[in-house]
Structure 1
Amino acid sequence: MVPFLYGTRYHEDNGMVRLWSMETNRGRDTMDPVFEQLYEQYHDDLFNFLFYMVRNREHAEDLVQEVYVKVLRSYKRFKGQCSEKTWLLSIARHVAIDFFRKQKRRQWVKASEWSEEQLGADEPMPEEIAIQNEEIQLMYRCLARCTVDQQLVLVLRFIQSLSIAETAAALGWTESKVKTTQHRALKALKQYMEEEAEREEWRHEKISLE
């Protein structure tokens, strides 16, 4: 089973309340009950989703806060056509995609400064995943090889446990597109996991021969 991870919550004496005061421009000392409920109830879901997408705890925490900034600005326009969780995850999806675009631009600018070793190096595995069993680690590495759309569907369907309809609402897709992407994502994930398993087996054989 894929581990559900938890972020660091921001309580009433820190940045989120200060953010609330700045966004509403009313100088409130406490959060609005609706916003507080959204924060308390869905913070971990959002962190978990964003962590699996961006593969970094600090980035995920920052992006969760960005999601809630957007919630503060747009909640009055929420019409209840889907669940609050689905709506929040749809915002998180846009935030994650914006993050990827910014990272891609930064990487393109800095690429000329990287050595061949840096370009070929694997990204360090977050501690939360590194302490899991080998199967979880393998799946985490392979998930990163999937396309962004495939990752979105896999995380929403099998980590967030959203239905096909909820996933479609979160992504702004048709249910047919979700099903097709899920089928391709599972096929790709299986292939990548088999390739990784074969690679690991080859490494063990090489070590034993030495």
Structure 2
Amino acid sequence: MSSDDIIINRLATRLLTAPPPMPAVHMLVPDWAPTQPFSRPPVPAAVLIALIRRPEGHTVLYTERSPDLRAHSGQVAFPGGKVDAADTDVAAAALREAFEEVGMERADVRVIGFMPTYFTGTNYLITPVVATVEPSGPFVPNPGEVHSVFEVPLQRILSPESYGEFRIKRDGKEHRTWQIDHDGHRIWGITANLTRRFRDLAMGEAVS
């Protein structure tokens, strides 16, 4: 068994075995505070943290969003999106989005668990779905949603030296997120924060 397999097996024991329940709205604290309070309930969403088995070791899959999208254009993200009424749960939503965005086949995926929800300053309540993937073919970006697909070695994700700090100003206030630079791609914001939470969980460390 490889070192990656050992880490993933250990991670599976630390993940939630079922999607977490919707927290009470008054208990939710967004990753950054908007200037106006939310006028509607949080929007349920899901992302797929896909651990891809490669001959040289596992990788984590990311997408670069299309520059033509209205929201978060050009940013790096995990496959994912809003939970639709037809989705049976957040795992179904994440896998549907992964197929729509990069052609990931459901039969290639084994969901190993769920991470706690993440509440965003844009009023999305995201559930990260963690899965191992043995791809039967290449990932092909859907040009309407995804500009490119890339993978980061799992060992790089697990190294604390891979993480820096990203700063951005919103409404005159400075906000900070984690940042990971890899092969010309800059991962920051929600995606970097979720990556760091995944890393801390995998390594058995307090979420930072």
Higher helix content, 1 or 2 = 1
Mark yes or no: TM-score above 0.5.
Answer: no
TM-score range, shorter chain: under 0.3
Q: TM-score, normalised to structure 1's length?
A: 0.26
> Could you say which structure has the larger radius of gyration?
1
Q: TM-score, normalised to structure 2's length?
A: 0.26
